[in-house]
A and B are shown apart, each in its own frame.
Chain A
């Protein structure tokens, strides 16, 4: 086996040194009742070339690649990824290193993550970002737990226009804690009603997502003001951070915690993971933050350098009193997001965001002209909801056979929205692709 370097002579010599007669000797500490009764039954090992063919076969049964036209967003977005981004993030030194606990030997990762934290904070308009979490959904759950720690209040409010799968994760994380979750309804325009917050004084936090699951831009400012009026924290979620290249960012609108999914920033969709849990807050809450943080310092010669810091919040120091059980950050994904953001630059982020917006606006206009209802009038970024006439499910299935996915049916998540589909459009779909969709959904 090519990954195992030991020759028979090596093994013999090493056994002799270790005072063992055979490899079996090392396992005598395992009592007989703990041992396997039979060998593992696994497939015969494949050669490298057989593995290529096997994986090609499986991958061939996926609607991905140029022939598929997938009008899906809903928390996972296809954007062009420059070759230079994939190239530098595949460097062995980044890929095959561990968490930078020994800073002198890990300055590459540490500076890169410090830069990620800085760019993430700037994009979100927040004072401090952590080194990242698993994904947007667990980041939201952690944000609500953090708000409970900060305020010591036993309830949170979450908008129903927050990604339904994120709300499911929030329920899972909060289930054993006894923290009450109040759901806030959305209005006919597709946004959340800040007036529905009710008694804010009993809430640790209120969470809203903008752009929300329907693609609509929320009135985050009013939402934050209402939340603050009762001493609760405003948690601003997102699944598509590219939107902040064009729309006002959560920090500017008053968010105390901004958290969401950063997959959009140069990370392949990979069937949903790994992604990038982005997590940022006001500086005053930093000691209650979950997750790793990189900070700037100096070495004994006074030269600038970076270390993991404020570790007394974390499980390896604080154990059961830690701010979270999280250990890993999705470091390589955070690195990727930083390389991607820096590759675009401020002007590129603006222009790309504008293009995404404009493609979605074009598709909206074409669908509207074709007589298809767009029920939510609120402003959107690169996805929106369309209500198709009865009989559309047949069309939808027919299009699937052509590897065209005409949006995400919403009825599964919102029984009150039958016939409603969430359509996502990015720069990777051409005007011709959009025209094909408009033509096909009418036929």
Chain B
């Protein structure tokens, strides 16, 4: 008999901060006052901020209790498709918390911050080597900002060619950030459909690619978990019309050590260090979204860039074609240190192994759940596989019900209702850090849920029952927004 680990533990209730606070308490050791008090002019003085007052023990209990209402990678398997929720190594936390980095001011004179500049240079070299592209900027603070950097580079490049363009091709499988990033640069997104095999056909792209089109945004492997095997031909079509190819590297975890992104014709690629390179997601950020480019686009990368002169690392702004700056400072250094530590801990062979095992895990799940759940594209997948609720619809059970029921079995649900091309999508990305036993337990849970769907669908409609809260009323939240207390 399989024992599932979903259970209810000793989880305590906890009110809001200001319901707990009592005037006169404090959780802070006020620094010594060694200078005289100096009043500000009365017309400038504000009121004391309306922030609750709590003791240190109140604060610690409040947040420890809140933390216990969260599921996390450190607690269990988190197979969110497209999110690469792999284990976040603890040594990386130690490295990024090193006071030399954590307490360094960003505007330190160059001679006083050589360590960070050296690390950034080394990380840029690693990412260039891993992708096969020639130049890297670490500045973008997240994947979507990396995409924006990419679109700004497209825009600046076409303008530099003397012919700004107005459209961009975006496949129907793309993340929503793709069209949104393109729109920020004034591009109209031209949607193209993937074919019956779940990938793009060169003819489809050729039909829309013209000299008003700046290029194409491609996620490869795509969000169905399939490798876009016509990518080279598609890139040739786009290049022939003077366009550029953008690669969304969100799914890089599938192809480390396998694919040369430069060789297949991608001109600009962003990486999500918080996915492929194991930096923690932090409940929604911070991440980092370095942007990598082919040689001819290097002059357009964000400034400043680190250069080496006489063995000394220096900042340089001497890139007149640069798109400019995306963040006030240099990027999310705290995240960069973690990703660098990850790469240095694994090396080339292990990184390649990461992708092999990520792909093995996804294919294993795909094979074992095929038949239990509808598999719209039955072919070997990369790092994730996409099912749907088609077989469960007869019992009036939806993807949402399946997702909620998984919580009761002790798993975070997969990504649901994405990609949009698969109605009722269930997108599973196990990542390489899950063992066979964990996958087996997940598969058994999914099978048990499928059986419940047939025999007792009400259990699914009522799920979850073991979380801190039952299903929440999202409609009411949006209709009468209460966004602050």
Contacts and interface: CB of A to CB of B under 8 A. Distances in A.
A100 B148 contact: no
Contacts of B69: 93, 106-108, 111
Most buried by A among B144, B256, B334: B334
Given A5-B433, A104-B468, A331-B282, A273 B333 contact: yes
Given A105-B467, A118-B484, A341 B51 contact: yes
A403 B112 contact: yes
A229 interface: no
A14 B469 contact: no
B350 A4 contact: yes
A169 B139 CA distance: 12
A94 B263 CA distance: 39
Interface string A123-144: 1000111011011111000000
A36 B259 contact: yes
A344 interface: yes
B310 interface: no
Given A344-B27, A349-B49, A137 B327 contact: yes
A11 interface: yes
B285 A72 contact: no
B113 interface: yes
B16 A325 contact: no
B8 to A, nearest CB: 12
B109 A405 contact: yes
B284 A100 contact: yes
B386 interface: no
Given A96-B73, A319-B189, A335-B283, A271 B113 contact: yes
Contact of A41 (B129, B363, B412, B468): B129
A14 B282 contact: no
Interface string B131-159: 01000000001111101100110011000
B31 A319 contact: no
A82 B27 contact: yes
B433 A252 contact: no
Contacts of A114: 16, 483-485
B384 interface: no
A322 B184 CA distance: 10
A306 B345 CA distance: 39
A343 interface: yes
A416 interface: no
B343 to A, nearest CB: 7
A310 B80 CA distance: 22
B119 A97 contact: no
A347 interface: yes
Contacts of B364: 14, 17-18
A297 B473 contact: yes
A42 B256 CA distance: 12
Contacts of A122: 49-51, 484
Contacts, number: 704
A339 B60 CA distance: 9
A1 B404 CA distance: 34
Contacts of A346: 48-53
Interface stretch (A47-55, A153-161, A368-376): A47-55
A80 interface: yes
Nearest to A341: B51
Given A88-B64, A168-B325, A248-B44, A305 B483 contact: no
Interface string B24-46: 11111111111111101100111
**Contact count band on A:** 35 or more
A166 B104 contact: no
Nearest to B340: A55
B242 interface: no
B196 interface: no
B186 to A, nearest CB: 5
Interface string B14-28: 101110010011111
A317 B394 CA distance: 27
A348 B470 contact: no
Contacts of A296: 477, 482-483, 485
B436 A307 contact: no
Contacts of B346: 1, 3, 45
Interface stretch (B91-99, B200-208, B290-298, B446-454): B91-99
Interface in A283-325: 286, 292-301, 303, 305-307, 309-312, 314-322, 324-325
A56 B100 CA distance: 8
A271 B72 contact: no
B101 A134 contact: no
Given A93-B68, A135-B328, A137-B325, A325 B105 contact: no
B299 interface: no
Interface string A237-263: 000000011111100100000000100
Interface in A16-62: 17-20, 23, 25-31, 33-37, 39-46, 48, 51-52, 54-62
A138 B21 contact: no
A95 to B, nearest CB: 5
Contacts of B106: 75-76, 269, 271-273
A349 B348 CA distance: 49
Given A54-B344, A93-B70, A3 B87 contact: yes
Interface in A67-101: 68, 70, 72, 74-76, 78, 80, 82, 84, 87-100
A18 B361 CA distance: 9
Contacts of B421: none
B318 to A, nearest CB: 13
Contacts of A436: none
Most chain B CB inside 10 Å of its own CB: which residue of A114, A326, A427: A326
A66 B357 CA distance: 45
Contacts of B130: 40, 42
Nearest to A349: B49
A31 B232 contact: yes
A275 B86 CA distance: 24
26 contacts: A5-B436, A6-B432, A40-B352, A42-B130, A45-B347, A62-B104, A76-B329, A84-B27, A84-B60, A106-B283, A111-B16, A169-B326, A173-B148, A175-B323, A247-B40, A248-B45, A293-B483, A295-B481, A309-B481, A328-B143, A333-B285, A344-B26, A344-B27, A346-B53, A362-B35, A400-B112
Given A82-B29, A300-B470, 14 more contacts: A63-B112, A65-B103, A70-B108, A92-B74, A96-B73, A105-B412, A122-B50, A123-B51, A165-B328, A273-B331, A330-B282, A346-B51, A349-B48, A357-B38
Q: Shortest 7 CB-CB distances between A and B: which pairs?
A: A59-B100, A272-B329, A272-B106, A345-B53, A332-B282, A45-B347, A172-B324
